[in-house]
Amino acid sequence: MLSVKPYRGSRDFYPPEMRFRKWMFSRLRSSVEQFGFEEMDAPILEPIDLYLAKTSEEIVSTQIYTFKDRGDRQMVIRPEMTPSVARMVAGKFRDLKKPVRWYSIPNLWRYERPSKGRLREHWQLNCDIFGAPDPFWADLEILHLAVTLLKNFGADHTMFRVKVNDRRIINYLFENVLQIQADWWAPVARIMDKKEKIPRDEYMTMMIAAGLGDAQIAAVDLYLENPARFFSDHKVSAPVFAEMENLLVAATESGLRDFVEYDPSVVRGFDYYTGFVFEIFDLTPGNNRSLFGGGRYDHLLENFGIQSANAVGFGMGDVTLQDFLESHKLVQNPDKLVHVYLAVFPDPSLLPHALNIATDLRKAGLNVEINLGQKKMGKQFQEADEKNIPLVIILGEEEIKNNSVQMKNMKNGTQNQVLLGNLQESIQSEWEKIYAAKN
């Protein structure tokens, strides 16, 4: 016997779950489009070369789903969207109006161990800006978009925090202060990220194993524990320190004072982030984790022969977003959107009249569910009630003779005779009452 369970790490979306997903994605789309972004998409299958060029080694070596097609080509089920976006932008770079503001909500697959907030299959909102005249303005715009997305679900500054940094500051620390070779930058960064999560002696052991001496470890501690002092000591040596201070000031003055803060431990991936980076953290004790993040990746198009395109963006997974909304009680589960249920007395001769009424209402933009069997009227009312359909239109022989229907409001129990010529207007009026009562 076949199993009824979905593939491990994936989900079935029954109608209630699908209604929630549509509601969540609709809210994301409307928020992003407020900022002038346009939606795009790409094939779910890509050649593996696209990911060997720019995706992290961890994803390529352990997490991608690969197969050979019938033409013996090595293909990948996309684990992320950014390489596909880069390919598409590069393909029409000269023709695209700059800056390019694109977004997508693709289906992505990664072969990894399912855990809280992490599945093998998920959907992810991706937002990217390519070719902005001033990267500083684009970075600030991306910050505002990221905050607005959560605010438009009803979140406020007590629920999340945006932590920002710049990869060039971290690079300066490694190259000019610690003076360690480039292939040790990523391992040391990972140890730095663990500093507040592990005992001090374990942290020291890991730093020493990475080849750092006491003076270098002290410099890392200063950077992590007193970034203001670190900035003061080094800001004359590199312009990036002043740029970060200016970004924080601009964020504060443009309404993000309560949302954004500098965090020296934010690194993001070493594979293609080149400057400004950020992560958004849930402040709920039970879900205190990174929600999503992004940053600047100015070298993203170089493998396609494009040398002069700056780029900034982020990705937000649907699983972590749903966890955030549920933990803060921000979920609004929408009801099944059927405007009216057309109840018909169990007489086959009435069906053509019922279908004509349903057709006219559907042409007018209303969602109509019609009785599909010889159910008694009480059973039809029960069906409408169980499906939470607020209005029932009743059609029988008397109604046909009078060129009318009976309309019952299932929320307040009122029932009135309505002429067919006034039916659409009457439905609209009843829906306004229902909506007002609900809100």
Please provide the DSSP assignment of 149-198 as one string. HHHTTT--TTTEEEEEEEHHHHHHIIIIII---GGGHHHHHHHHHTTTTS
CA distance 309 to 90: 9
CA neighbor of 138 nearest in space, from 58, 266, 247: 247
Pairing of strands 100-104, 74-77: unpaired
- What is residue 26's predicted lDDT score, i.e. its pLDDT? 96
pLDDT of residue 107: 97
In whole angstroms, give the CA distance from residue 145 to residue 95.
26
Q: Is 62 helix (H, G, I), strand (E, B) or coil?
A: helix
Cα separations (Å) of 348 from 6, 318, 359? Answer: 41, 47, 18
Q: pTM to 2 decimals?
A: 0.89
Instruction: Tell me how far apart the alpha carbons of residues 355 and 357 are, in angstroms, rounded to a whole number.
Output: 5
Domains belonging to the chain, first-starting first, are 340-438 (3.40.50.800)
Angle, in degrees to the nearest 10, between helices 200-209 and 214-225: 130
Q: What is the pLDDT along the chain (439 residues), one digit of tens a residue?
A: 999 999 999 999 999 999 999 999 999 999 999 999 999 999 999 999 888 876 666 677 788 999 999 999 999 999 999 999 999 999 999 999 999 999 999 999 999 888 877 899 999 999 999 999 999 999 999 999 999 999 999 999 999 999 999 999 999 999 999 999 988 898 898 888 888 888 999 999 999 998 999 999 999 999 999 999 999 999 899 999 999 999 999 999 999 999 999 999 998 876 678 999 999 999 988 777 899 999 999 988 998 999 878 999 999 999 999 999 999 999 987 777 899 999 999 888 899 999 999 999 999 999 999 988 878 899 999 999 999 999 999 999 999 999 999 999 998 889 999 999 999 999 999 888 877 776 6
Q: Which residue has the tokens 């937002």?
A: 127
Buried b (16+ CB within 10 A) or exposed e, 86-104: bbbbbeebeebeebbbbbb
Per-residue pLDDT at 58: 65
Tokens for 301, please give them. Answer: 């198009």
